[in-house]
Amino acid sequence: MNVWQQLVGQPDAIATFEAAARAAHAVTAGGESADASGVMTHAWLITGPPGSGRSNLAYAFAAALLCANGGCGECADCRNVVARTHPDLSYLATERVIISIDEVREFVVASQYSPSSSDYRVVVIEDADRMAERTSNVLLKALEEPPARTVWILCAPSEADLIPTIRSRVRSVRLTVPSVELVSQLLRDRDGVDAVTAERSARLAQNHIGMARRLATNAEASARREETVQLVLGMTGLTDAVTAAARLHAIATDDAKAVTDEQDADELEQTRLAMGITEGDVIPPTLRSQFRTLEEQQKRRATRSLRDGLDRILVDLMSVYRDVLRLQLGVAEDLTNLEFETQLRHRAGSVTAAETLAALDAVAHARKRIASNVAPLLTLEAMLISSVLPEAA
Amino acid sequence: MATTSGRASKVKTSVAIPQLGWREARPATVVLVTGPEEFLAERATTAVRQQLRDADPALEVSDVDATSYAAGQLLTLASPSLFGEPRLIRVSAVEKCTDDFIEDVVSYLEYPDADTTLVLRHSGGVRGKKILDTIRAGAGGGIEIIVDELKSDNDKFEFALAEFDAGGRRITPGAVRGLVAAFSSSGSELAAACQQLMSDTSGDIDERDVDTYYGGRSEATAFRVADIAIAGRPGDALVALRNALESGSDPVPVVAAFASKLRVMARVMGDRRSSAELAGAIGAAPWQIDRARRDLNGWSEGGLATAIVAVADADANVKGATRDSIFALERMVSVVANYGLR
Ligand SMILES: [Zn+2]
């Protein structure tokens, strides 16, 4: 299976990158500049909502550029990209709330070297939206005068998340939200999930592929989501709201931990695979520093994962309030949380549409705050209070 | 009062001897004192000496530094004297002991002297593990006192209370709370502050004393501002806020103090369970529940709701959403001090 066949739901984007990688290898063979072909360029921006597979696509493209066969998915180059151990790949993964200026400086320096073993050197920044303007300007300099064999791949939720000067120097590839049908199909084909579970998980995950798979295959994850919905639909007053906030905070903490543990184990396995080590083997001293680096990265990621866990919960809450609003407006089809229809209808009948809108606002507001450095529990408290007692906000 | 340390589950090797909290320290042929908290180890050792001295004032005390221990020292100190006085040998820094020390202790444990109490202080690490394992396996008929860090506010509260108790002084719960808040980051500083306060004051100790001596500590000050605001005194609260900021308090802990007090108030407002039950459910100390119930005087549900939302706004504002964090704090204080009514 080549690197493109492992991706789903983005045929247009895949076609663009496949053609670009082909052109890139053609020009290295012929010796002219990669940009001259028109389909290849040295800086890319992949945009799309969480779960659309931005970073998967970024690394598939990276493999296609670094692999002599254009991303065969089988060779050492391809495997090393998957394990993030390829010598010509630099990447900045989702670990912290903010990407620091020093990190970007380091990347800019790395980008100046010519590739050591492959045709290109590839730099991936997974969350380019997490840069302050000052940091963006450092990156800008590198994008303005790129070495011929360096390719930048930035990822962000949308183009608007980057400063205009950066935007004008990258080629954007927009990903679409995969449909419930497509995600559910994927769960059936790739993970062997039964049709009913696949449909429900795809719907509840609101088409977020990774989330859908977790809901379908991990009973605890789906129990946590159910509790989240029950909690908010059951609140009636201040004490309920503050109690629910404490519980949501605990759920998010558990969820974040579960996700990070899975990711950690996965990455460790991939790294072992790339180095030809099986579990339980003694790691040779020459490879230890790589494992230590991985360990450090994983530790850093743990600090930001609570915010990600909270955001997943807030996305679930938005779906609940959106369902309530739909029912209040008399649109009963396309409910996300079909399993809770009775409670949703009860809530729809007991509050006004204006109150539901206020609750939606409160959640959106909290999401924005959680992304910065605020106290998470306090933010959840204020959010739930505002949705039960709108006059408090 | 609950035991705050000495959880046996922390120890992985099999243990055949009693493992006790610092407050349960008592003499035995061998008393192993393990754990990181030095001032608690010191309390435990002092308690052992006191009990021995109470039993026999002729007690002979000797101190040994395990880092410079020379072979044979222990046997000399522990060998029965002519008059048969009881002996206490206090050994410090077992975690950095010499090889001779390990050898001598292990062989001493086979035939310990019945009139000698050997106290071994080991603060952590693998050095001297053989000694720990041997004692824990039961050799020498020892006991272990575990001195864990004081983690929760409740642990600290109880520790401080015990300090004043031991000093024969009475102190109000509010004053203890103020002390705990002021020294929340370090147990040893808290211990020192308790001693200091007892020597600086006479008679019963209350909030005013704590405020006089430690009012400048930012955490204590932050809670003071919150207390005054929650009691519905806008003018005083704004003055207290200004004083706190002038004496160097950071805006963030001020907001955090408001949030933590209002949170407990909101949790207890609609809950009629007993303080003890609620304390468990919320993860707060029973005195915090009682205090929150008193603090609710004058508050309505809607007002408290508004106040918490205002505190969350202030949190976002002092952390960068606005440039004027003083104004953000003042607005929060005045919303809270007016019982959340606008
Ligand atoms: Zn390949």
Residue A279 has pLDDT above 80, yes or no: no
In the chain, the amino acid numbered B59 is L
Chain centre to alpha carbon of residue B268: 26
- Provide the pLDDT confidence category of residue A35 given band limits of 50, 70 and 90: low
Q: What is the pLDDT of residue B5?
A: 38
Mean pLDDT of A361-382: 89
Mean pLDDT of chain B: 85
Q: Which residue has the higher pLDDT, A209 or B255?
A: B255
Q: Is B200 in the same domain as B325?
A: no
Structure tokens at A165: 């000067």
Q: Scanning every residue of chain B, which has its alpha carbon at the shortest distance from the alpha carbon of A375?
A: B315
Specify the pLDDT at position B81: 67
Cβ of B319 within 8 Å of Cβ of A372? The answer is yes
> What are the helix (H) ranges across chain B?
38-55, 73-78, 99-108, 129-136, 153-166, 173-182, 187-200, 207-214, 218-230, 234-246, 251-269, 275-282, 286-295, 301-316, 325-337
Cβ within 8 Å, pair B316-A242? no
Q: Read off the CATH number of the domain in which B46 is found.
A: 3.40.50.300
Q: What is the reported pLDDT for B6?
A: 36
Give how far Cα A340 sits from Cα of A186, A240, A358, A383, A387, Å: 25, 19, 21, 22, 19
Query: B-chain residues within 8 Å CB-CB of A386?
Result: 309
- Judgement on whether residues B304 and B198 belong to the same structural domain of the protein: no
| Cα A196 to Cα A205: distance, rounded to the nearest angstrom | 14
Residue of A nearest to B300 (CA): A238
Same domain as B260, residue B209: no
Look up residue A157 and give its two tokens: 């939720």
Q: What is the pLDDT of residue B21?
A: 87
The DSSP H or E segment spanning B143 is strand B143-146
> What pLDDT is recorded for position B8?
37
- How do the domains of chain A map onto residue ranges? 11-174, 238-392
What is the tens place of the pLDDT at every residue in A221-267? 899 899 999 999 989 899 999 999 999 998 888 888 887 787 778 77
- Give percent of chain B above pLDDT 70: 93
Q: State whether residue B276 sits within 8 Å of chain A by CB.
A: no
Query: How far, in Å, CA of A322 to CA of A384, rounded?
Result: 15
Q: What is the pLDDT of residue B10?
A: 41
B206 and B105 in one domain? Answer: no
Closest CA to B310 of A393, A355, A374, A364: A393
Taking the CA of residue A250 and the nearest CA in chain B, the distance in Å comes to 12
Ligand 1 centre from A117 Cα, in Å?
A: 13
Of 3.40.50.720, 3.40.50.300, 3.30.300.20, 3.30.360.10, the CATH number of A11-174 is: 3.40.50.300
Please say if the pLDDT value at position A127 is more than 50. yes
What is chain B's Cα-based Rg? 25
Does A242 sit within 8 Å of B313, measured CB to CB? no
How remote is the CA of residue A209 from the centroid of ligand 1, in Å? 25
- How many distinct structural domains can be found in chain B? 3
Q: Which of residues 300-339 of B touch A (CB under 8 A)?
A: 301-302, 304-306, 308-309, 311-313, 315-316, 319-321
Asked if the structure places residue B267 within a domain, the reply is yes
> What are B175-186's pLDDT values in tens digits?
898 888 777 767
Q: Contact B155/B126 with Cβ under 8 angstroms?
A: no
Strand partners, B34: B122, B146
Contacts of B305 in chain A (CB under 8 A): 238, 241, 385, 389, 391-392
Q: Rounded to the nearest whole angstrom, what is the distance from the C-alpha of residue B9 to the centroid of ligand 1? A: 51
Tell me whether A385 touches chain B (CB under 8 Å).
Answer: yes
- Interface with chain A: mutation pick from B261, B308, B318, highest number of A CBs within 10 Å: B308
Kindly give the distance from the C-alpha atom of residue A76 to the centroid of ligand 1, in angstroms, as a whole number: 7
Same domain for B100 and B113?
yes
Q: Tell me if chain B has a CB within 8 Å of the CB of A369.
A: yes
A126: tokens are 């997974």
Quick one: B31 and B126 in the same domain? yes
Distance separating alpha carbons of residues B315 and A343, to the nearest angstrom:
34
How would residue A59 be classed by pLDDT, with cut points 50, 70 and 90? very high
Instruction: State whether A242 and B311 contact (CB < 8 Å).
Output: no
- Using a CB-CB cut-off of 8 Å, the residues of chain B touching A374 are 312, 315-316, 319
Is pLDDT at B102 greater than 80 in this prediction?
A: yes
Average the pLDDT over each of B18-22, B77-81, B184-188, B333-337 and give the range with the smallest value: B184-188
Q: What pLDDT does A48 receive?
A: 87
**Nearest by CB: A386 against B263, B309, B311:** B309
> B236 CB near a chain A CB, below 8 Å?
no
> Which string of DSSP letters, residue by residue, matches A118-184?
SS-EEEEETTGGGB-HHHHHHHHHHHHS--TTEEEEEEES-GGGS-HHHHTTSEEEEPPPPPHHHHH
Are B114 and B183 in the same domain? no
Question: Taking 60 as the threshold, does the pLDDT of residue B231 lie above it?
Answer: yes
State the ipTM, two decimals.
0.72
Adjacency order of strands within the sheet including A150-156? A89-92, A121-125, A150-156, A43-47, A171-174
Between B276 and A382, where is the model more confident?
A382
Tell me, yes or no, if B271 comes closer than 8 A to chain A by beta carbon. yes
Are B272 and B189 in the same domain? no
Q: What is the pLDDT of residue A97?
A: 60
Instruction: Tell me the pLDDT tens digit for each residue of B267-311.
Output: 999 888 888 888 878 877 777 888 899 999 999 999 999 999 999
pLDDT, average across residues B116-143: 91
The reply to whether B125 and B88 lie within a common domain is yes
- What's residue A131's pLDDT? 82
Q: Are residues B192 and B121 in the same domain?
A: no
Q: Is B293 on the interface with A (CB under 8 A)?
A: no
Between CA A37 and CA A29 the distance in angstroms is 13
Nearest CA in chain A to B302: A392
Report yes or no: B44 and B22 within 8 Å, Cβ to Cβ.
yes
B266 to A238: CB separation less than 8 angstroms, yes or no:
yes
Residues of B whose CB is below 8 A from A375: 255-256, 259, 312, 315
Kindly state the percentage of chain B with pLDDT values over 90.
37
Note whether A239 contacts B: Cβ–Cβ < 8 A: yes
Rounding to the nearest 10 degrees, give the CA dihedral for residues B93, B94, B100, B102: 180
Query: What is the pLDDT averaged over residues A59-66?
Result: 95
Query: Binning pLDDT at 50, 70 and 90, where does residue A94 land?
Result: low
Residues B44-63: tens digit of each pLDDT = 998 899 899 888 888 888 88
Interface contact A239-B269, CB threshold 8 A: yes
Sheet holding B116-122, edge to edge: B19-21, B143-146, B30-34, B116-122, B87-92, B60-65
pLDDT in tens, A166-207: 888 999 999 887 888 888 988 898 888 999 999 999 999 887
Residue-averaged pLDDT of chain A: 86
According to CATH, the topology of domain A238-392 is Zinc Finger, Delta Prime; domain 3 (1.20.272)
For chain B, positions 77-136, list CB contacts with chain A under 8 A: none
Beta bridge partners of B92: B65
Q: Are A123 and A153 in contact (CB under 8 A)?
A: yes
Shortest Cα distance, chain A CAs vs residue B305, angstroms: 6
CATH code for the domain in which residue B196 is found? 1.10.8
DSSP A176-213: PPPPHHHHHHHHHHHH---HHHHHHHHHHTTT-HHHHH
> Is residue A108 predicted with pLDDT exceeding 80?
yes
What is the mean predicted confidence (pLDDT) over B198-210? 80
Q: Which residues of A touch B308 (CB under 8 A)?
A: 242, 378, 381-382, 385, 392
Give the pLDDT of residue B84: 75
Cβ contact B316–A369 (<8 Å): yes
pTM: 0.62
| Domain housing B190 | 150-214
Question: CB pairs below 8 Å between A and B: how many?
Answer: 79
Residue A155 β-bridge partners: A46
